[in-house]
């Protein structure tokens, strides 16, 4: 038998290892938030309102000066000419002075011999001579005003007290009317005489 030739084994070349394939890692993608456009609501169209007609209300005076509706307005009487005033300083209280110019007992001490008061009418008696006056205004203890019944010309006579803030003395202010200068001189003399009596009477109280 013929021996078979065995072919020599070829040397096996070492197989080169393939280089590892680098896999690219994808970077994380940032999420992009897309803001939706803000749509502003349209303002409703302004509707012009027609202005109501302005009604002017009459100006009403304060209640302190308002006359009652059922009151009949009195006619303004203009004061006549010949008005004059006299002032006398009296060392007495306002209340006492006012009592002597507003009461029966007070007036009869110096103003006249006797006086009676009835329904706001003062009847004065000077040694039998009678004269009447009505009370037309009184603000105790500040003032009191009389008007002779036989005169309708708007004249009156008034007693008013006034206090001096520095000395606390009380002044008695007398208001009267005269028809002429001669009448005024006579009236002033008479008032001086009567007030002297009043001062004498008030002096007896101190």
Burial of 25 (0-12, 13-18, 19+ CB in 10 A): exposed
Q: Is pLDDT at 14 greater than 80 in this prediction?
A: no
Q: Is 11 exposed, middle or buried (0-12, 13-18, 19+ CB in 10 A)?
A: exposed
Query: Which residue did the predictor score with more confidence, 132 or 58?
Result: 132
If pLDDT is split at 50, 70 and 90, which confidence band does 6 have? Answer: low
Q: What's the sign of the alpha-carbon dihedral 179, 180, 182, 184?
A: positive
Q: What are the pLDDT digits (tens) for 164-178?
A: 888 888 999 999 999
Question: Taking the CB of residue 45, how many other CB atoms lie within 10 A of it?
Answer: 6
* Rounded-to-integer distance, Cα 122 and Cα 118, Å: 7
10: pLDDT strictly greater than 50: yes
The domain spans of the chain are 83-203
Q: What is the pTM for the complete model shown?
A: 0.62
For residue 202, give Cα distances in angstroms to 91, 93, 144, 171, 177: 8, 10, 19, 13, 26
For 83-203, CATH number?
Answer: 3.30.530.20
Confidence bin at 80 (pLDDT 50/70/90)? confident
Region for 98 from its dihedrals, namely left if φ exceeds 0, alpha if ψ lies in -120 to 50, beta otherwise: alpha
pLDDT exceeds cutoff 70 at 150: yes
């Amino acid at each position: 038998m013929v021996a078979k030739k065995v072919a020599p084994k070829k040397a096996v070349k070492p197989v080169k290892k393939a280089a590892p394939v680098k896999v690219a890692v994808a970077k994380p993608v940032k999420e992009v938030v897309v803001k939706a456009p803000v749509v502003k609501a349209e303002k409703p169209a302004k509707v012009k309102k027609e202005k109501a007609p302005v009604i002017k209300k009459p100006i009403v005076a304060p209640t302190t000066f308002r006359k009652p509706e059922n009151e009949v307005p009195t006619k303004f009487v203009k004061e006549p000419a010949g008005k004059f005033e006299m002032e006398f300083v009296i060392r007495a209280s306002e209340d006492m002075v006012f009592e002597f110019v507003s009461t029966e007992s007070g007036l009869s001490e110096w103003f006249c011999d006797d006086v009676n008061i009835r329904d706001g009418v003062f009847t004065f008696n000077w040694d039998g001579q009678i004269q009447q006056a009505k009370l037309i205004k009184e603000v105790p203890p500040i003032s009191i005003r009389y008007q002779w019944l036989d005169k309708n010309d708007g004249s009156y006579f008034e007693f008013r007290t006034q206090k001096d803030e520095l000395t606390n003395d009380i002044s008695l202010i007398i208001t009267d009317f005269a028809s002429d200068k001669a009448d005024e001189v006579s009236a002033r003399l008479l008032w001086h005489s009567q007030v002297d009596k009043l001062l004498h009477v008030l002096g007896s109280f101190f």
